[in-house]
Structure 1
Amino acid sequence: MRLTIVSCISANWQKALPVLAAVGAVVWIALFRDDPLSERALFAALLVIYFFHQIEEHLWPGGFRQFADAHIFHSGNDNWPVDMGGTALVNIGYVWLPIGLAALFPETLRWLGLAWIGLTLINGIIHVAAGMALRIYNPGLVTGLVLFIPFTVFVLVHEVARGALSGAEVALIALLGVVLHVPAGGLFVISFLRRRRTKA
């Protein structure tokens, strides 16, 4: 039963994204229209923005998993090493959960939210860099360019302007953004290297 539920989530989680994005946007406006620049509002906005980004990556036009397997790993397999289960785990457990917790507890988990601001900034830069390096569209490129980078830069500039962050802390946030990509990428890289070693 548990495996069936997990398999169902792995295969279908992205279908909920349009509803999550629409409901998230409406709820955000209702809750934060009078205080849109509080850290709680900014962290909540980050989660809504991620829903739109994930729609581009995994639903419309989608294909991020297949793109990574074909153009990053050259594996010849549309579901390995970036597979459906790993993709669902990263997007739900590594994106929704920490950002959602930071939005719920912005004082206690402020640096969790700021670290994921850094992760989002670096993610947007990676999408743009991959597009330039490979000279082809990668799923997530448009929202990475028009949502991730402008939003995260705005948040960091805003926090510095109001005295809530120093320049050194902004540098730390960017560094955390790089470091936080390691576990997510490592999930797939380790699988890839293990199978290659077995075949060798």
Structure 2
Amino acid sequence: MQRLTQFKLWLATRWVVAAGFMAAVMLALVPVLESAFALPLLLIFLHNPGYMIHQVEEHTGDRFRRFANVVMFGGREGLTTASVLVVNVGAVWTLNLGALYAAAFAGPGYGLIAPYAMVVNAVTHIGAAARLRRYNPGLVTAILLFLPLALVTITVIGREPEVSLAEHAAGLGGALILHAVIIASVALRLRRLDR
């Protein structure tokens, strides 16, 4: 049990730096991959390093978790270190890798959850900034990176003749469900804390 606790602490203090390093390595591969991948697949590939760059802005120094707990949750710990790791390392990185494999082996429309998840995330950051009338960690990359990459990806994949409206709906629906699960888990934790 102590080793597991030590591992969690080790991971919690290093994952953001690892994300920045992995994003740089993945982006360094783009010129090679560009010659091997069709454009829709290359764009889906870019979602993981794009998210990792966003995570560096958002989570360096535990900024987003502290911001959310203080500003949005009134000092209550709605987001834990463990939940941040599960969402960002477990869910986001896995989702984008899964979208890449789905796009590669089943067709580009099957990878649409990646750009739609970026759009939903960006809208969430922008909505929070508008509501609170202040910066929130992750806002800059949500606007300057997420929206352009996601919208270009959705447009390029949407031009593929085999991509259906149902695949767009499934991608958007999956992204909305993922974000709803995250919000519900935070709301459930806050409800438990209020008892």
Q: Structure 2 length normalisation: TM-score?
A: 0.87
- 2:48 maps to what in 1? 47
Kindly indicate whether the alpha-carbon contact (under 8 Å) linking 2:118 and 2:146 is maintained by their aligned counterparts in 1.
Answer: yes
Identical-residue share of aligned pairs (%) = 27
Can you list the C-alpha shifts for 1:168-189, whole angstroms capped at 9, x where unaligned? 5434432332221022222322
- 2:135 maps to what in 1? 137
Q: Between the two structures, name the one with larger relative contact order (CA 8 Å, sep ≥ 6).
A: 2
Kindly indicate whether the alpha-carbon contact (under 8 Å) linking 1:101 and 1:109 is maintained by their aligned counterparts in 2.
Answer: no
- 2:19 maps to what in 1? 17
Greater share of helix residues, 1 or 2?
A: 2
Q: CA RMSD in A?
A: 2.2
- TM-superposed CA distance for 1:163, in Å, is 2.0
CA distance in 2, matches of 1:88, 1:35: 30
- 1:95 maps to what in 2? 92
**Count of residues in Structure 1 that have an aligned counterpart in Structure 2:** 192
Kindly indicate whether the alpha-carbon contact (under 8 Å) linking 1:102 and 1:109 is maintained by their aligned counterparts in 2.
Answer: no
- 1:83 maps to what in 2? 80
1:90 counterpart letter in structure 2 = V
1:100 counterpart letter in structure 2 = L
- TM-superposed CA distance for 1:104, in Å, is 4.0
2:92 counterpart letter in structure 1 = V
1:9 counterpart letter in structure 2 = L
SS at match of 1:136: coil
- 1:8 maps to what in 2? 10
2:179 counterpart letter in structure 1 = H
CA distance in 2, matches of 1:149, 1:92: 21
CA distance in 1, matches of 2:9, 2:110: 29
Kindly indicate whether the alpha-carbon contact (under 8 Å) linking 1:86 and 1:187 is maintained by their aligned counterparts in 2.
Answer: no
- TM-superposed CA distance for 1:123, in Å, is 0.5
1:93 to 1:164, Cα distance in 2 relative to 1, 3 A: same
CA distance in 1, matches of 2:70, 2:107: 37
Kindly indicate whether the alpha-carbon contact (under 8 Å) linking 2:110 and 2:171 is maintained by their aligned counterparts in 1.
Answer: no
- TM-superposed CA distance for 1:111, in Å, is 6.2
